[in-house]
Amino acid sequence: MAIVTGGNSGIGWEAANMLAGRGFSILLAVRDVVKGETAKREILDFHPEATVAVLKLDLADLESVRHFADNYKKHFHSLDLLINNAGIMMPPYGKTKDGFELQFGSNYLGHFALTAHLLPLLANTAHSRIITLGSLAHNRGAIDFDNLDGSKGYRPKKFYNQSKLANMLFAMELDRRLKRHGIQTISVACHPGVSATNIFKIGKYDAPVLLRDFANRFLQPPDMGALATVHAATEPGLTGGEYIGPAGKGRRKGYPALDTPHPSAVDEAIAEKLWSVSEQLTGVRFDFEAARNPGVSTGE
């Protein structure tokens, strides 16, 4: 089974569609179930024999995250792929249901909590992987621990960069901790380059028309942007801790290859501090010792 957050559109949908074509059962974890059902039908149009399901998940609501994980665990006992894909980009200032700045809470903290809840199933599934979507924007990011909620000032792009750096720090630190605790699951980060997706539409807010026109004309289409995700999820030679992105000029376009994270993304001291703060903010902890289990399933 492969869970794809935000799998109803854009890169998430393209990745889910490709993975369905490779024989994975797909669970679209989406905020809007109606749109999720439409996305499911579109995947089945391409792959009529595929198994595709839809389950509500609102990453801006930790109660929804917990409910999603509990619901999944009632029906399944293993998980091959968790693809932390969903994201929002540069909305006006807002907060999640739990009071976090919207981008940091949705793009990062929601996925942090979701991964913690699902870790026991991942650890109990042979060859399982956690794929977290970063962005080239992480290169310009910094974690402002004194203003994570934006109450001391908010700039949409700055907080988007911060959320994507947080994703990168999480993916790398997660892999270190998985290895340290002897868990066979691996964590891999990836990015789609500069891709034209409906991330430029956030809820009722549209990006400026000129920006959308530029995206549609000059940026990498979503199906190409999704290749890095699929590569991270399926390439046999990966061992964890890698960063996958397009191989073209500036890493903006092209077919997937091994990339190099910005030094800020591999700063272990910052990663450990962010991990501790994330556990405090969400009230969710990773129990690696409990997740480690010598009985390994063969997957769903």
User: Which one has a higher pLDDT value, 83 or 201?
Assistant: 83
User: Is residue 294 in a domain?
Assistant: no
**pLDDT at residue 296 tops 60:** no
Res 198: pLDDT: 45
Res 223: pLDDT: 87
Mean pLDDT of the chain: 91
Strands (E), 67-182: 81-84, 129-133
User: Is residue 299 in a domain?
Assistant: no
Of 132, 108, 19, 10, the residue nearest 59 (C-alpha): 108
User: Is residue 201 in a domain?
Assistant: yes
pLDDT more than 70, % of the chain:
88
Res 228: pLDDT: 96
Res 213: pLDDT: 58
pLDDT more than 90, % of the chain:
81
User: Which one has a higher pLDDT value, 296 or 232?
Assistant: 232
Catalytic residue among 72, 108, 154, 160: 160
**For residue 72, what is the enclosing H or E element?**
helix 62-75
User: Is residue 154 in a domain?
Assistant: yes
Classify each residue of 172-199 as buried b or exposed e, where b means 16 or more C-beta atoms within 10 Å of its C-beta. Answer: bbbbbbbbeeebbbbbbbbbbbbbbbbb
Condensed to tens digits (0 to 9), the pLDDT of residues 12-38 reads: 999 999 999 999 999 999 999 999 999
Contacts of 170 (CB under 8 A, 6+ apart): 108, 111, 112, 132, 271, 274, 275, 278
Known active-site residue 243: no
User: Is residue 245 in a domain?
Assistant: yes
CA distances from 277 to 31, 61, 187 (A): 26, 18, 20
User: Is residue 297 in a domain?
Assistant: no
Q: Could you tell me the residue range of the domain that residue 266 belongs to?
A: 2-285
Q: How many domains does the chain have?
A: 1
Q: Mean pLDDT over residues 193-205, rounded? A: 54
User: Which one has a higher pLDDT value, 297 or 63?
Assistant: 63
User: Is residue 22 in a domain?
Assistant: yes
- Looking at residue 179, which CATH number applies to its domain? 3.40.50.720
| Contact between residue 102 and residue 60 where contact means Cβ atoms under 8 Å apart | yes
The reported pTM is 0.90
Q: Which amino acid is at 35?
A: K
